[in-house]
């Protein structure tokens, strides 16, 4: 079990910090102060309303945190340096003003550290700094009326006030309390924010242990955090991106529609096929068949992810099947992507492969006794065991990205061959599998034998490896594919810095009404956390209560499928499809229609899962899907302009209302409406009800369905909006 509860010893130290006094040492560009219980702290202004706060270990202050490690890996220079500070002392109060105009105010007895924007607005207050038991604590005060946002891709809620969250990526499989991409960044309706510059596990508490306090417990001996002293929430993501990397502008085709099917689909070029998944054999269809079905409904995708098609281009047909599939898709202007695990070597048969290119580890028990020495099979210790698509006790080999020779081989040999076969992108899955170095999971630890261990100094492997791997792969393959439409990674998981690589995707929501809001929350929480290019499996990935429906029989000798039978005879196996036990076809059509309607207004349009597909539904539902695809395409000019703004300003394409109206308390908890670019307010229907409540903030809003203009005063209004399944309420902001 991973212990993330607030430790008593650390919390008592935090309280001690409040009660005792300390000392202060001044320099031209930093402030060192010591709390009476011995913790040494350094405060610097990094410019642009960024203040860095660190604690000391062994007398020094580490320059390298998680953000610095990522920049070093990518060969980048961070554009942050300590600024000259102007110090003013008034009694026992010390004020430090940065050249950007923001101010930090330090008090002792009791300790507090308050940050003010250049306009004099108090934005962040810290009153807890502590360490002990291998952990650090950072905490501060919350006002009675103050909402909290951020923490990355989460499906639980928008406003985090009154919530305790574990920031650790895991394969939660539809668990709204888990996350595939934790970002240790939060902001409040005061306008400022805090970014913890660490990739270790941590627990964030916003008003649970203390109603008037926020608190981070970080599984790291020293503290490294940035305070963002801005006036507006919408200014916070850009500062975070300045530290961890700006997103790359997606290529036009990256926005979709992107079709990803579930193995055994797309494992052959043509005709029905079947593959074992666990103990059962499931039905699939070839590339030609699925392409023709999308053609039949008049809704071709921009890319297709060949999840199961053989991609080992160095054996058998030398990639001929992959070339044939990508060639077939290219005739319709459709890009080819492949599915892969994060860090997968892909082919040991590639020329020049060496065993040393894979990460080697020593697996030990809790006492440090060797269980397996120098192995490349790394146990998947983060597996929760509640994902029905995979089994527990897995182990995987991954690429040693710290080995320059291994990386050069991987890009110039393996990926060059895939690109030559027509591959333009990859869906990179299972980014949460690699364990942290030396951390005890149950009764297992791993100790890595990296070629260059310094790569991960200042950061933690579990969250850093997927971001490091994807970031460099995306950069190198974008160069290789320059002029050919670029390279697209579609990534499930990671940590800070993951926003560099569009798109991210929030996987494994169930196909049911109750989980539609998860998909919206994934995008809103990610966007406000500095990750503007987020998508999901439209209308859900898997049924909440599955049954296996026999549809055919597979003969072992002939290796053919007989659709005339459902009962296996001698030498046969039954072939199944997954269906819902509780969701009727009519209800599933409604869920699908509702999901398609609001996905038209999302950055990326992607379908995936072992569920019914657009062409499997009645014509009325197919019509809704086609309408959503057309709308998504029609919004392309606006979306591209908003994407450029997102990269320049940090303000995402899709965002919660609070980012534009943070002073309007009525927007603080609105999670089922969102702004699309600067012009549209979108209010999706998440149920089959014939009307829904819509909150309109201050401004002039024209209902695009009825043409009615709403002139909304300060404080906003609530209205009832009639709506049918497959329709969506959209309001355009009018400037005059």
Q: Nearest 10 degrees: CA dihedral of 508, 510, 513, 518?
A: -30
Q: What is the mean pLDDT of residues 287-313?
A: 92
Kindly state the tokens that stand for 692: 């829904």
pLDDT exceeding 90 applies to what percent of the chain?
83
Which pLDDT belongs to residue 701? 98
List C-alpha distances in Å: 271 to 88, 117, 263, 325, 692: 77, 64, 14, 13, 45
Chain segment 442-467, per-residue pLDDT in tens: 889 999 999 999 999 999 999 999 99
Decide: helix, strand or coil at residue 92: coil
Name, in order, each residue with C-beta under 8 angstroms of 647's C-beta and a sequence gap of 6 or more: 246, 247, 248, 249, 532
Whether the predicted pLDDT of 205 surpasses 60:
yes
Decide: helix, strand or coil at residue 370: strand
Chain segment 129-150, per-residue pLDDT in tens: 998 889 999 999 999 999 999 9
What mean pLDDT is reported for the chain?
A: 92
Rounded CA separation 231/213 (Å): 20
Whether the predicted pLDDT of 19 surpasses 60:
no
Angle in degrees, 0-180, between the axes of helices 66-73 and 236-244, rounded to the nearest 10: 50
List C-alpha distances in Å: 627 to 247, 652, 724: 30, 24, 14
Chain segment 718-731, per-residue pLDDT in tens: 999 999 888 899 99
What are the φ and ψ backbone dihedral angles of 611, each rounded to 5 degrees?
A: -140, 175
Nearest Cα neighbor of 244 from 46, 43, 495, 485 is 495
Residue with tokens 């970031």: 471
Rounded CA separation 677/367 (Å): 54
Region label for 127, one of left (φ > 0), alpha (ψ between -120 and 50) or beta (otherwise): alpha
Region label for 707, one of left (φ > 0), alpha (ψ between -120 and 50) or beta (otherwise): left
Q: Peptide bond before 264: cis, by omega within 30 degrees of 0?
A: yes
Whether the predicted pLDDT of 113 surpasses 80:
yes
Decide: helix, strand or coil at residue 226: strand
Report the alpha-carbon angle 21-24-27, nearest 5. 165
Whether the predicted pLDDT of 17 surpasses 70:
no
Rounded CA separation 696/708 (Å): 13
- Exposed e or buried b per residue across 396-413, where buried means at least 16 C-beta atoms within 10 angstroms of its C-beta: bbbbbbbbeebbebbbeb
Nearest Cα neighbor of 252 from 531, 526, 633 is 633
Q: Pairing state of beta strands 258-260 and 606-607?
A: parallel
Beta carbons of 35 and 20 less than 8 angstroms apart: yes
Chain segment 572-627, per-residue pLDDT in tens: 999 999 999 999 999 999 999 999 999 999 999 999 988 999 999 999 999 999 99
Place 261 in a pLDDT band, splitting at 50, 70 and 90. confident
Beta carbons of 206 and 214 less than 8 angstroms apart: yes
Decide: helix, strand or coil at residue 633: helix
Domains and CATH numbers, the chain: 8-244 (2.60.40.1760), 252-344+404-432+462-634 (3.20.20.80), 639-734 (2.60.40.1180)
Place 318 in a pLDDT band, splitting at 50, 70 and 90. confident
Place 59 in a pLDDT band, splitting at 50, 70 and 90. confident
In this structure, the chain runs to a length of 736
Place 175 in a pLDDT band, splitting at 50, 70 and 90. confident
Write the DSSP string, 139-190: EEE--SS--EEEEEE-SS-S--TTEEEEE-B---SS-TT-BSEEEEEEEETT
Who has greater pLDDT, 245 or 18? 245
- Exposed e or buried b per residue across 532-568, where buried means at least 16 C-beta atoms within 10 angstroms of its C-beta: bbbbbbbbbbbbbebeeeebbbbbeeeeebeeeeeeb
Strand partners, 136: 131, 218
Chain segment 456-505, per-residue pLDDT in tens: 999 999 999 999 999 999 999 999 999 888 999 999 999 999 999 999 99
Rounded CA separation 447/445 (Å): 7
Nearest Cα neighbor of 519 from 607, 435, 581 is 607
Chain segment 614-669, per-residue pLDDT in tens: 999 999 999 999 999 999 999 999 999 999 999 999 999 999 999 999 999 999 99
Beta carbons of 363 and 411 less than 8 angstroms apart: no
Beta carbons of 702 and 674 less than 8 angstroms apart: no
Q: What is the mean pLDDT of residues 45-63?
A: 92
Place 309 in a pLDDT band, splitting at 50, 70 and 90. confident
Chain segment 319-354, per-residue pLDDT in tens: 899 999 999 999 999 999 999 999 999 999 999 999
CA atoms within 13 A on the CB side of 490: 35
Whether the predicted pLDDT of 386 surpasses 70:
no
């Amino acid at each position: 079990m991973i212990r993330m509860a607030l430790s008593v010893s650390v919390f008592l130290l935090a309280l001690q910090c409040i009660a005792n006094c300390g000392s202060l040492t001044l320099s031209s560009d930093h402030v060192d102060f010591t709390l009476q219980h011995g913790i040494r702290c350094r405060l610097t202004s990094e410019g642009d309303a960024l203040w860095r706060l660190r604690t000391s270990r062994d007398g020094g202050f580490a320059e390298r945190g998680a953000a610095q490690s990522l920049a070093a890996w990518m060969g980048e220079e961070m554009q942050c340096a300590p600024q000259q500070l102007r110090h003013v002392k008034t009694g026992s109060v010390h004020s430090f003003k940065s050249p950007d105009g923001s101010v930090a105010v330090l008090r002792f007895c009791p300790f507090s550290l308050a940050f003010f924007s250049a306009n004099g607005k108090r934005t962040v207050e810290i009153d807890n700094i502590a360490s002990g038991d291998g952990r650090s604590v950072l905490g501060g005060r919350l006002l009675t009326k103050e909402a909290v946002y951020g923490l990355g891709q989460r499906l639980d809620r928008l406003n985090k006030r009154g919530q305790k969250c574990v920031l650790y990526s895991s394969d939660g499989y539809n668990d709204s309390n888990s996350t595939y991409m934790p970002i240790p960044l939060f902001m409040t309706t005061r306008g400022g924010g805090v970014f913890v510059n660490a990739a270790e596990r941590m627990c964030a508490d916003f008003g649970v242990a203390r109603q008037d306090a926020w608190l981070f417990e970080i599984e790291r001996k020293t503290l490294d955090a940035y305070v963002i002293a801005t006036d507006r929430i919408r200014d916070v993501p850009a500062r975070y991106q300045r530290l961890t990397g700006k997103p790359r502008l997606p290529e036009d085709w990256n926005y979709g529609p992107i079709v990803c099917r579930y193995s055994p689909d797309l494992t052959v070029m043509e005709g029905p096929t079947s593959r074992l998944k666990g103990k059962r054999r499931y039905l699939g269809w070839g590339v030609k068949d699925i392409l023709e079905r999308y053609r039949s409904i008049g809704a071709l995708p921009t890319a297709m992810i060949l999840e199961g098609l053989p991609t080992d281009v160095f054996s058998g047909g030398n990639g001929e099947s992959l070339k044939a599939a990508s060639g077939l898709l290219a005739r319709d202007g459709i890009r080819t992507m492949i599915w892969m695990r994060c860090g997968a070597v892909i082919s040991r048969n590639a020329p020049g492969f060496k065993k040393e290119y894979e990460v080697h580890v020593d697996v030990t028990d809790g006492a440090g006794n060797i269980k397996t020495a120098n192995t490349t099979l790394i146990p998947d210790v983060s597996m929760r065991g509640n994902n029905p698509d995979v089994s527990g006790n897995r182990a995987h080999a991954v690429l040693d990205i710290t080995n320059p020779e291994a990386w050069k081989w991987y890009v110039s040999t393996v990926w060059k061959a895939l690109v030559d076969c027509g591959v333009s992108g990859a869906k990179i899955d299972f980014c949460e599998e690699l364990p942290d170095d030396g951390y005890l999971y149950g009764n297992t630890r791993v100790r890595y034998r990296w070629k260059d261990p310094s790569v991960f100094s200042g950061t933690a492997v579990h969250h850093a490896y997927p971001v490091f791997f994807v970031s460099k792969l995306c950069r190198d393959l974008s160069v290789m594919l320059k002029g050919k439409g670029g390279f697209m990674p579609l990534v499930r998981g990671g940590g800070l810095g993951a926003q560099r690589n569009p798109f991210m995707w929030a996987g494994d929501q169930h196909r049911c009404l109750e989980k539609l809001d998860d998909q919206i929350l994934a995008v809103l929480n990610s966007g406000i956390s500095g990750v503007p290019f987020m998508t999901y499996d439209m209308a859900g990935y898997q049924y909440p209560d599955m049954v296996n429906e026999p549809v055919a029989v597979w003969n072992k000798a002939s290796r053919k499928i007989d659709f005339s039978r459902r009962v296996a005879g001698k030498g046969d196996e039954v072939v199944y499809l997954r269906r819902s036990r509780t969701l009727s076809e009519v209800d599933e059509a409604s869920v699908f229609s509702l999901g398609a309607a609001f996905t038209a207004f999302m950055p990326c349009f992607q379908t995936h899962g072992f569920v019914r597909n657009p062409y499997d539904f009645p014509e009325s539902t197919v019509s809704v899907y086609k309408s959503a695809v057309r709308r998504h395409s029609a919004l392309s000019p606006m979306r591209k302009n908003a994407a450029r703004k997102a990269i320049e300003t940090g303000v995402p394409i899709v965002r919660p209302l609070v980012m534009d109206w943070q002073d309007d308390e009525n927007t603080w908890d609105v999670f089922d409406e969102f702004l699309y670019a600067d012009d549209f307010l979108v209010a999706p229907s998440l149920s089959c009800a014939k009307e829904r409540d819509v909150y309109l903030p201050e401004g002039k809003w024209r209902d695009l369905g009825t043409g009615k203009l709403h002139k909304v005063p300060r404080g906003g209004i609530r209205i009832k909006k009639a709506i049918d399944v497959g329709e969506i309420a959209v309001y355009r902001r009018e400037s005059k």
